[in-house]
């Protein structure tokens, strides 16, 4: 009775357990597992760290420590770039940006009137922010867009309300980039939805053929070619008795057509990604084609393709800079012309850095926004 034979029984109440992996945390543990887990990874970490620090320091040295932030004016009233010239090669000439930033931002828009495009820039940003919030996704949003666009048009053109008239040939800089990309994508997107649906139509072969032709023809041609055609060839074929559309409008149309074809293919991928059962369930309820698409298919298809959709949006935002080659004054063109001025010719790097930062801010915002949107949809409608 008292003789107890040891038995191989796992003692209840004292299970052997190891800490779950998430408990091994903290920056030091992270660094050990990710940066220094073997001698090779330690060597790579050290080498890359050295390069990054070295580049970082030399940029700070050039861009901050030895940089020239402003230059005095010559007696004639023009800036005197002597200080910049002295620092050339060792320090950045931010004074050049200080002198030309208004030209880069607004192009040749009359100097005294530049508060108008400035407001336009803020209106565009406000429009993006409001359109991005899901609680504003309702019918009134269309009204907000129309009102904002009318205000933007009024501010840019003027000619009424005591605002002096400013022709489109004088518009330039950031407003042009925003106009081309915003209208381009805002009009191309609904176009793309229709074309994508048309391409999948089984009951209307003629419609499908037109959509396929449109997509394949546009995709088979570089955007530059389309822009050239819109600026050079189009006026030749346009009936003489009609007023030829302005160059900016023609470029805008080319961008819309181009973006529409690309977006249509992205949307089509989403339509194909949905299970057949969703189409059948909507059919069985008798929703009919358009209600099926609007309430059941498109909302799901578009959620599936948010990443490639935003990818295309970002691409087109930057591609609007190609209008440079047909002489439209967008942000990049304005920057290029600012550098062409004799006293600032040596400081192109500074201008391109600033332009890159501006493009980056817009594109990075789009990217962050799309990630947020994806997360929101994932949590609200788990499959």
Partner 1 sequence: MSASATAEQPAILVDKLNKWFGTLHVLRDVSMTVAAKEKVVVCGPSGSGKSTLIRCINRLETHQEGHIFVDGTELTDDTRALDTIRREVGMVFQSFNLFPHLTILENCTLAPIWVRKMPKAEAEELAMSFLTRVKIPEQAKKFPGQLSGGQQQRVAIARALCMRPKIMLFDEPTSALDPEMIKEVLDTMIGLAEDGMTMVCVTHEMGFARQVADRVVFMDQGEIVESGTPHDMFENPQTDRLQLFLSQILRGH
Q: Which residues bind partner 1 (CB under 8 A)?
A: 275, 277-278, 280-288, 291, 295-296, 299-300, 303, 377, 380-383
HSE-up (13 A, CA, CB side) for residue 236: 6
Measured from the CB atom, the residue of 170 and 287 that comes closer to partner 1 is 287
Measured from the CB atom, the residue of 6 and 275 that comes closer to partner 1 is 275
Spatial distance between the Cα atoms of 141 and 159, rounded to a whole number of angstroms: 28
Give the shortest CB-382-to-partner 1 separation in angstroms.
Answer: 4
- List helix spans (H) across 12-61: 27-34, 39-60
Spatial distance between the Cα atoms of 320 and 330, rounded to a whole number of angstroms: 8
Give the shortest CB-299-to-partner 1 separation in angstroms.
Answer: 5
Adjacent-strand bridge partners of 173: 330
Measured from the CB atom, the residue of 12 and 284 that comes closer to partner 1 is 284
Are the C-beta atoms of 240 and 287 separated by less than 8 Å?
no
Measured from the CB atom, the residue of 297 and 310 that comes closer to partner 1 is 297
Spatial distance between the Cα atoms of 383 and 378, rounded to a whole number of angstroms: 8
Give the shortest CB-40-to-partner 1 separation in angstroms.
Answer: 44
Give the shortest CB-203-to-partner 1 separation in angstroms.
Answer: 9
Measured from the CB atom, the residue of 219 and 291 that comes closer to partner 1 is 291
First to last CA, the chain: 60
Give the shortest CB-254-to-partner 1 separation in angstroms.
Answer: 35
Spatial distance between the Cα atoms of 380 and 88, rounded to a whole number of angstroms: 55
Q: Let me know the angle formed at the C-alpha of 342 by 111 and 117, rounded to the nearest 5 degrees.
A: 20
Q: How far is CA 163 from CA 40, 151, 175, 179, in A?
A: 67, 12, 18, 20
Give the shortest CB-303-to-partner 1 separation in angstroms.
Answer: 7
Measured from the CB atom, the residue of 126 and 288 that comes closer to partner 1 is 288
Determine phi and psi for 102, rounding to 5 degrees.
Answer: -70, -35
Spatial distance between the Cα atoms of 114 and 174, rounded to a whole number of angstroms: 12
Q: How far is CA 362 from CA 125, 191, 296, in A?
A: 10, 24, 32
Instruction: Show Cβ contacts of residue 102 under 8 Å, excluding neighbours closer than 6 positions.
Output: 111, 114
Measured from the CB atom, the residue of 190 and 299 that comes closer to partner 1 is 299
Are the C-beta atoms of 322 and 223 separated by less than 8 Å?
yes
Measured from the CB atom, the residue of 116 and 303 that comes closer to partner 1 is 303
Give the shortest CB-370-to-partner 1 separation in angstroms.
Answer: 17
Measured from the CB atom, the residue of 209 and 285 that comes closer to partner 1 is 285
Give the shortest CB-193-to-partner 1 separation in angstroms.
Answer: 17
Give the shortest CB-197-to-partner 1 separation in angstroms.
Answer: 17
Are the C-beta atoms of 312 and 189 separated by less than 8 Å?
no
């Amino acid at each position: 009775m008292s003789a107890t034979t040891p038995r191989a029984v796992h003692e209840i109440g004292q299970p052997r357990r190891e800490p779950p992996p998430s408990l091994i945390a903290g920056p030091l543990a992270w660094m050990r597992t990710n940066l220094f887990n073997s001698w090779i990874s330690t060597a790579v970490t050290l080498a890359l760290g050295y390069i990054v620090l070295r580049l970082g320091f030399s940029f700070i040295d050039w861009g901050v420590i030895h940089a020239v932030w402003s230059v005095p004016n010559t007696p004639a009233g023009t800036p005197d770039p002597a200080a910049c010239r002295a620092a050339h090669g060792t320090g950045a000439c931010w004074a050049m940006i200080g002198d030309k930033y208004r030209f880069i931002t607004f192009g040749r828009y009359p100097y005294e009137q530049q508060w108008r495009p400035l407001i336009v820039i803020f209106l565009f940003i406000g429009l993006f922010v409001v359109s991005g919030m899901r609680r504003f996704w309702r019918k009134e949003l269309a009204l907000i867009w129309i009102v904002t666009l009318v205000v933007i048009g009024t501010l840019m053109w003027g000619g009424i309300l005591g605002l002096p008239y400013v022709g489109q040939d004088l518009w330039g800089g950031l407003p042009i980039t925003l106009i081309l990309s915003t209208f381009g994508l805002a009009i191309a997107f609904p176009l793309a939805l229709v074309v994508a649906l048309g391409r999948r139509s089984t009951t209307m072969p003629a419609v499908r053929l037109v959509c396929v032709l449109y997509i394949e023809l546009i995709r088979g041609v570089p955007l530059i070619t389309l822009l050239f055609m819109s600026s050079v060839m189009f006026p030749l074929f346009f009936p003489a008795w009609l007023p030829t559309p302005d160059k900016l409008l023609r470029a805008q149309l080319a961008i819309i057509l181009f973006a529409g074809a690309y977006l249509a293919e992205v949307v089509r991928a989403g339509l194909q990604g949905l299970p057949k059962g969703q189409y059948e369930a909507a059919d069985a309820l008798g929703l009919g084609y358009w209600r099926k698409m609007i309430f059941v298919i498109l909302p799901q298809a578009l959620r599936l393709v948010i990443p490639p959709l935003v990818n295309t949006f970002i691409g087109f935002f930057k591609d609007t800079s190609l209008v440079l080659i047909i002489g439209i004054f967008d942000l990049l063109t304005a920057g290029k012309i600012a550098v062409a001025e004799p006293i600032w010719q040596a400081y192109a790097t500074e201008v391109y850095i600033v332009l890159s930062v501006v493009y980056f801010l817009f594109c990075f915002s789009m990217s962050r926004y799309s990630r947020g949107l994806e997360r929101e949809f994932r949590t609200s409608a788990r499959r």
